[in-house]
Amino acid sequence: MSKKLFVGNLPWSVNSDKLKDLFSTVGEVSDAFVMTDRDTGRSRGFGFVTFDSDDEAQAAIDAFNDKEVDGRNIVVNEAREKKDRY
């Protein structure tokens, strides 16, 4: 079963490819994307990384939570389910 991680406090310099490359150092990343503003295309400062393995996801949390990336300490934890807005 796959596990999705939330990655917050990302520097503006990190795009989806760089995020995937960073997290690929601890395991097989099946998906990685940085959320962007729909009008400007600029990063919103957070993204998501999906691992196929729970063990690799936990290793990523242990390795990257509160780690400095391009001058900012990123936050990594298990993503919560999206709630309906209505």
Q: pLDDT of 37-83, one tens digit each? A: 999 999 999 999 999 999 999 999 999 999 999 999 999 999 998 77
- Give residue 85's pLDDT: 66
Mean pLDDT, residues 13-38 taken together: 96
pLDDT at 5: 98
Instruction: Indicate the length of the chain as a whole number.
Output: 86
Whole-structure pTM value: 0.91
Q: What is the pLDDT of residue 14?
A: 95
pLDDT of residue 86: 67
Q: How high is the pLDDT of residue 62?
A: 97
The Cα–Cα gap between 56 and 80 comes to 18
pLDDT above 90 (res 4): yes
Report the CATH number of the 3-78 domain. Answer: 3.30.70.330
